[in-house]
Structure 1
Amino acid sequence: MSRVCELTGKGPMVGNNVSHAKNRTRRRFLPNLNDVTLQSETLGRGVKLRISAAALRSVDHRGGLDAYLAKAKDVELSDRAMKVKKEIAKAQAATA
């Protein structure tokens, strides 16, 4: 399982551990990923995703999963998230 957020594309970064003596050793900064089930109002079901804590706050800020995916760039989304986005768009088109 890769350490990449399915909604934002946020992944590991690299940097240095710096000791008091200024010795530098390489290290990785991993994103704060959580397995969550987000509810889609349009689909009427939950969607399991592995997203960062920052993405979870963004989803809440935008008013839910449907609103977040509507504004999200397709390049940043994972394959699973793109599939859900297309399902939501199809369901919204059918009801309108």
Structure 2
Amino acid sequence: MSRRCDLTGRRPQVGHKVSHSNIKTKRRFLPNLGVVTLTSETLGRSFRLRITRNALRSVDHRGGLDAYLIKSRDEELSPEALRIKYEIAKAREVAVAA
């Protein structure tokens, strides 16, 4: 399982650990990931996603999983999140047509 956020696409970053004597050694900055169950209001289902805590705050700020996925770009979403986004879009089209 990769250390990548399903919603934002955030990955580990590489940098330097700098000691008091200014010696630089490589280190990794890992994203703060957690497994979260988010509910889609349009589909009426729950989804388990591995997302960063910052993305969780963004989902709450935008008004839920549906609003977040509709506004996000396809390039930054994981294949699982893209599938959910397309299901939501299809369900909304059916609801508007009916």
Q: TM-score scaled to structure 2, two decimals?
A: 0.96
Task: Map residues 31-70 of structure 1 onto 2, 5 A cutoff.
Answer: 31-70=31-70
Q: Deviations over 1:23-67 (max 9, x none)?
A: 110000000001001010001010111000110000000000000
Unaligned runs of 5+ in 1: none
Measure the CA separation in 1 of the matches of 2:37 and 2:78.
16
State the 1:76 CA deviation. 0.1
Task: Map residues 1-96 of structure 1 onto 2, 5 A cutoff.
Answer: 1-96=1-96
Unaligned runs of 5+ in 2: none
State the 1:72 CA deviation. 0.3
Q: What is the aligned residue count?
A: 96
Structure 1 counterpart of 2:58, one-letter code? S
- Root-mean-square deviation (CA, aligned residues, Å) is 0.5
Moved over 2 A (4+): none
Measure the CA separation in 2 of the matches of 1:86 and 1:45.
14
More helix by share: 2
Structure 2 counterpart of 1:63, one-letter code? G
State the 1:14 CA deviation. 0.4
Q: Deviations over 1:4-39 (max 9, x none)?
A: 101001000000111111111000000000100101
Measure the CA separation in 2 of the matches of 1:34 and 1:72.
20
